[in-house]
């Protein structure tokens, strides 16, 4: 091992990072055993993350100048708290770079953004089999919301519901 200190830089993602973001999304899908579910492409990501109406924000983690991970998040709103919150859609660090503090630095940066924006909550979901991540989040002070069940509709299911005549 060299005497050189490894440098972690957390930076805001830009349109120039779309290929990196897509590469990391695909790596996350591989990790979650669902590579076939990724339909995003560079055009969709550019439009929806960096277009006229961005729907989410990204942070890129560079480790010694190379992309090591990312976080993708957006605002939600808590009616009970009466404030916006941040929902973390994805957090991913390349497997060979885990344990170096990269994920923690990404979460700290999002927490700082949440404080700056006066957010009342910071939330995310984790797969129930992903025990290393569950322990990581608990060690940072996050609490699982065991009494809640996440529901989802696909694009096709949304269209079916929208076409119901009421």
The CATH number assigned to the domain holding 109 equals 3.40.630.30
Q: Which residues contact 49 (CB under 8 A, 6 or more apart)?
A: 13, 15, 18, 21, 55, 56, 57, 58, 72
Domain-embedded: residue 67: yes
Domain-embedded: residue 122: yes
Q: Hey, how many other C-beta atoms are within 10 angstroms of the C-beta on 39?
A: 7
Domain-embedded: residue 29: yes
| Residue from 12, 31, 6 nearest 94 by CA | 31
Considering its fold, how many domains does the chain have in total? 1
| Residue from 96, 34, 38 nearest 67 by CA | 96
Q: At 165, is the pLDDT very low, low, confident or very high (cuts 50, 70, 90)?
A: confident
- What whole-number percentage of the chain has pLDDT above 70? 98
Domain-embedded: residue 1: no
Domain-embedded: residue 2: no
More confident: 6 or 25? 25
Segment 45-72 mean pLDDT: 97
Q: At 2, is the pLDDT very low, low, confident or very high (cuts 50, 70, 90)?
A: very low
In this predicted structure, what is the pLDDT of residue 87?
98
8 A C-beta contact, residue 8 and residue 70: no
Segment 35-59 mean pLDDT: 98
pLDDT digits (tens, 9 = 90+) for 68-102: 999 999 999 999 999 999 999 999 999 999 999 99
Residues taking part in catalysis = 137
The domain in which residue 147 lies consists of 8-162
Segment 15-42 mean pLDDT: 97
Burial class (CB in 10 A: 0-12, 13-18, 19+), 165: exposed
Domain-embedded: residue 3: no
Q: What is the pTM of this model?
A: 0.92
| Residue from 116, 73, 114, 75 nearest 91 by CA | 73
C-alpha 118/C-alpha 49 separation (Å) is 22
In this predicted structure, what is the pLDDT of residue 4?
60
């Amino acid at each position: 091992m060299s005497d050189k200190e490894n440098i972690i830089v957390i930076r805001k993602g830009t349109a120039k990072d779309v290929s990196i973001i897509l590469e990391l999304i695909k790596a996350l899908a591989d990790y979650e055993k669902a590579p076939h579910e990724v339909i995003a492409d560079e055009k969709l990501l550019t439009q929806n993350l960096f277009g006229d109406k961005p729907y989410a924000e990204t942070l890129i983690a560079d480790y010694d100048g190379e992309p090591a991970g990312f976080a993708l998040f957006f605002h939600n709103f808590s009616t009970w708290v009466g404030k916006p919150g941040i929902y973390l859609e994805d957090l991913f660090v390349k497997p060979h770079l885990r344990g170096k503090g990269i994920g923690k630095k990404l979460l700290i940066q999002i927490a700082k953004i949440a404080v700056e924006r006066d957010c009342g909550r910071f939330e995310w979901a984790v797969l129930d089999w992903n025990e290393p991540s569950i322990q990581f989040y608990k060690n940072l002070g996050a609490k699982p919301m065991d009494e809640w069940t996440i529901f989802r509709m696909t694009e096709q299911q949304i269209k079916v519901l929208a076409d119901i005549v009421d």
